[in-house]
Amino acid sequence: MLYLVRHGQTLWNTEARFQGQFDSPLTDLGRDQATRIGRALATEIGKRETPIRAYVSPLGRTRMTAQLIGQSLPMSIVEDRNLMEVHFGKWEGLTRDDILSRFGSDQAIRPIDWQFQAPEGETLDTVLARVSAWYSRAETPAVIVTHGIISRLVRGIYAGLGHEEMLTLPVSQDGYFRLDGGRIEFVPAP
């Protein structure tokens, strides 16, 4: 069983900035989301003799989310660079308006499109390859703390979805996805 968590809300989420592999701090709401997810996961998983394995992107927002979850659920953290968000190249830290003013109005700003690639950034095929490499060796049960697009790709790999279908999957910062027995279920964190 896998429990898939997107990091809590960040300052740049509230400003609609492309974070990619740059970082911004969790907001008060983001810290609250991570804390609530930790309590919900602890209730579902229950007491264990050993901490549950947690695969965590090494970016600050995911590490902080994992730390807050860990206040309720003992975890053995394994940082994995393959779980890092898409690298948005020259767009990282910018808003859509910033991108349009710096790169011109004809630049397509559609990261939820399989053909997307920001200048000097990663292609989704490259990202899918690294996420697939992680998935092929991941051990269960485990908690995964990662990012929006990576969450979509992990669920897409798990469900055997095509490229375009993966990118339409919902993401949330208010709960986690339980991947078990071929099913994917979103569990809200009250």
Nearest-5° angle of CA 19, CA 133, CA 91?
20
At 10, give phi and psi (nearest 5°). Answer: -115, 165
User: Can you give the length of the chain in residues?
Assistant: 190
Is residue 120 flagged as an active site residue?
no
Angle of helix 60-69 relative to helix 28-45, nearest 10 degrees?
50
Is residue 122 flagged as an active site residue?
no
Which one of 15, 44, 79, 85 is the catalytic residue?
A: 85
Q: What 3-state class would DSSP assign to 30?
A: helix
173 and 14 Cβ atoms separated by less than 8 Å = no
Question: Which residues does the annotation mark as catalytic?
Answer: 7, 85
